[in-house]
Structure 1
Amino acid sequence: MGERILDVKNLEIDFHTYAGEVKAIRNVSFHLDKGETLAIVGESGSGKSVTTKSLMGLLANNARVKGGEILFHGTDLLKKTEKEMQSVRGKDIAMIFQDPMTSLDPTMKIGMQIAEPLIKHKHMEKKKALAQALEILKLVGIKDAEKRINDYPHQFSGGQRQRIVIAIALVCYPEILIADEPTTALDVTIQAQILDLMKELQAKIETSIIFITHDLGVVAGMADRVAVMYAGQIIEYGTVDEIFYNPQHPYTWGLLNSMPTLDSTKLEAIPGTPPDLLDPPKGDAFAARNPYAMKIDAEKQPPFFKVSETHYAATWLLHPDAPKITPPDEIVRRRKLFAEMQAKKVD
């Protein structure tokens, strides 16, 4: 790929609670190249949102970064003051949140909400900023944009509001766009439109996207690379083809297995629940839910084993001495479905 613009190294984040220290993010490392889309996937509570909020300096008051670096063009964002981060947020790194209604100010016309980042970050005069807001409103596909620029958020549908939130995030042409489950609240048809729109805009303004989701089906059509998170750690990462065609971690198998498909009405849930991060297990965090777990899984955390130059997985099953386990039949069947999705993507 191209130039590396973001490098997260050994990130550790704890949350201070009445019950004790929750070890929410445990030694997380990943990178992002210019113009690519990295998907971070995993169940709720796996640490996806906390990781990306730390990039923006938007962690809760009870969160503490215990270690690591977040290098944006070689500069550690964790060393910046709140005032310095304010000039990064929205201008260099922008975020689309899950629920557009909580991101939009109900008392302000949407044109002004889109123009605000331009006035703040680019010191643009109001008239010029509103003209640019109108352009991006058209770009994100709001019909009759000239009239609607003076409307308030409640006058738009859910899908339109999400388009407006995307317009606000993209108006300064940020280098990195973080999309935190941006289509969760939308129906499937609108969801597909929003995802297509994001890909289209990405090509136009050359932004890099970090896409957070629990839905692997969305990932197939969106991402270049995928990082799978579980219990505050990345446990497998690779290109989108590698994660779908050749998944190595039993948790990734479980996620793929729980994807709904057109020809299968039966959904396989992963049995059990994630571990308590007040006291994380000393071995593989997935061991208690892993039908293929070995004795070593309970005792020692697996390192990353190299599958290819771009594909790594942290599972003892990849150790040369481990028994050879083949993925469940369902995973093999889903590979065919993924191939079909990829074919549509090319069309």
Structure 2
Amino acid sequence: MEKILEVKDLKVSFQVYGGEVQAVRGINFDLYKGETLAVVGESGSGKSVLNQTIMKLIPMPPGKITGGQILFHGQDIVKKTDKEMEKIRGKEISMIFQDPMTSLNPTMKVGHQIMEVLLKHQNMKSQQAKERAIELLRLVGIPMPEKRVNQYPHEFSGGMRQRAMIAIALAANPSLLIADEPTTALDVTIQAQILELMKDLQKKMDTSIIFITHDLGVVANVADRVAVMYAGQIVEIGTVDEIFYDPRHPYTWGLLASMPSLDSDHKSELAAIPGTPPDLTNPPKGDAFAARNQYAMAIDFEEEPPMFQISETHFAKTWLLHPDAPKVEPPEAVKRKMRKLSSTFDKPVLVKEGK
């Protein structure tokens, strides 16, 4: 498969009044053509910083890339100037932001905002750009696009504004689309429609997608692979089946256990990960998750674990995978969630009943 993106040992920090926040701490992953990679984790885990860095949108200063490479089609984005990035943003890499109301220009008609991308990156004439803007609005499922193209963002509903944002992001046919929690501000019905729309458009356009979310329920429906982030690092990465049905990192177990369930036998149960993420102005020694990990060993507080390989596509950053570590099974709440998901999505269960 063709690699669209290679991120190698990426490190990003921010200089603040209290010191230097190490927001991204040595991240590695690849993205392939036509693939959707979901990046999940708690608020503050570094998801959005990672993806804004890929587009070089972090403010510098106070932010800075302190190490690593971001190879997009073989070219290192880290070394590119702002002028060079202007030719890439919107044309080759686009982003759908979390809140379309604050991302769309309230003083410009929606059609003009789509046309801006076409005029700049596709070298279209004004009338041609307007016709294409109407086509894009129709493509993303906005009714009466000939009328809507001349309306302002405040005349659109929340779901329609998000669809307009997707139209803008796709206007120049980018090879990489970054979706930063695009459904967070929407109700569940509209959320499902937007997710289905993105899956459909990806098939039609063969675009690679990085999908940022804290909602594992969303991940199950859209992703090919999943990267779990904690304290500025990827702690587990694998196919969606591996992460949901054979998770290996205790943090991933905690995220799965905390997913809301409609299972009538366990309505009162609401799992939570104890404690809070570490202060990244002074990252802890050893495993950053150790203080919140009920399975932590002495080595977790002394030495950072490497990324252990479980399969060709599955890796996890935990000492529990060391050959000398005690064998620890996922908690019963996680196994129950895995069995529930297996029945919902008709997948095999990789844990034995009763264990």
**1:232 is the counterpart of 2:232:** yes
1:87, 1:340 → 2: CA distance? 46
Matched residue SS, 2:334:
helix
Q: How much has 1:341 moved relative to structure 2? A: 4.1
**One-letter code of the match for 1:307?**
I
- Select which of 322, 325, 331 maps to 2:325: 322
Matched residue SS, 2:66:
strand
Q: How much has 1:241 moved relative to structure 2? A: 0.2
Give 1:35's aligned residue: 34
**1:299 is the counterpart of 2:302:** yes
**1:60 is the counterpart of 2:59:** yes
Number of residue pairs matched by the alignment: 343
2:53, 2:300 → 1: CA distance? 30
2:346, 2:36 → 1: CA distance? 19
Give 1:12's aligned residue: 11
**1:114 is the counterpart of 2:114:** yes
Q: How much has 1:333 moved relative to structure 2? A: 1.5
1:341, 1:158 → 2: CA distance? 29
Q: Structure 2: where are the runs of 5+ without partners?
A: 348-355
Give 2:219's aligned residue: 219
2:221, 2:193 → 1: CA distance? 12
| Mapped contact 1:221–1:341 kept (Cα < 8 A) | no
Q: How much has 1:338 moved relative to structure 2? A: 2.2
**One-letter code of the match for 1:96?**
I
1:102, 1:295 → 2: CA distance? 47
Give 2:342's aligned residue: 339
Give 1:126's aligned residue: 126
Q: How much has 1:342 moved relative to structure 2? A: 2.9
**One-letter code of the match for 2:295?**
Y
Matched residue SS, 1:31:
strand
**One-letter code of the match for 1:121?**
H
Q: How much has 1:343 moved relative to structure 2? A: 3.8
Spell out the pairing of 1:247-262 with structure 2 (5 A cutoff). 247-262=247-262
1:341, 1:112 → 2: CA distance? 43
Give 2:44's aligned residue: 45
**One-letter code of the match for 2:327?**
K
1:186, 1:259 → 2: CA distance? 18
Spell out the pairing of 1:30-179 with structure 2 (5 A cutoff). 30-61=29-60, 62-179=62-179
**One-letter code of the match for 2:86?**
Q
- CA deviations on 1:25-67 (whole Å, 9 max, x unpaired) are 1000111000000000000000000000011110023101000
**One-letter code of the match for 2:35?**
E
1:47, 1:142 → 2: CA distance? 33
- CA deviations on 1:79-112 (whole Å, 9 max, x unpaired) are 1110110110000000000000111011111111
- CA deviations on 1:233-281 (whole Å, 9 max, x unpaired) are 0000000000001000000000001111221433211110000001101
Change (3 A) 1:105 1:291: same
Q: Structure 1: where are the runs of 5+ without partners?
A: none
Q: How much has 1:334 moved relative to structure 2? A: 1.5
Matched residue SS, 1:88:
coil
Matched residue SS, 2:159:
helix
- CA deviations on 1:291-325 (whole Å, 9 max, x unpaired) are 00000000000001111111010100111111111
- Select which of 284, 289, 312 maps to 2:292: 289
Give 2:352's aligned residue: none
**One-letter code of the match for 1:154?**
H
Root-mean-square deviation (Å): 1.0
1:180, 1:57 → 2: CA distance? 15
Q: How much has 1:282 moved relative to structure 2? A: 1.5
Of 331-340 and 158-167, the range deviating more from structure 2: 331-340
2:311, 2:345 → 1: CA distance? 21
1:341, 1:219 → 2: CA distance? 14
Matched residue SS, 2:330:
coil
Q: How much has 1:122 moved relative to structure 2? A: 1.4
**One-letter code of the match for 2:251?**
Y
| Mapped contact 1:221–1:342 kept (Cα < 8 A) | no
| Mapped contact 1:216–1:259 kept (Cα < 8 A) | yes
1:312, 1:86 → 2: CA distance? 35
1:337, 1:102 → 2: CA distance? 38
**One-letter code of the match for 1:336?**
R
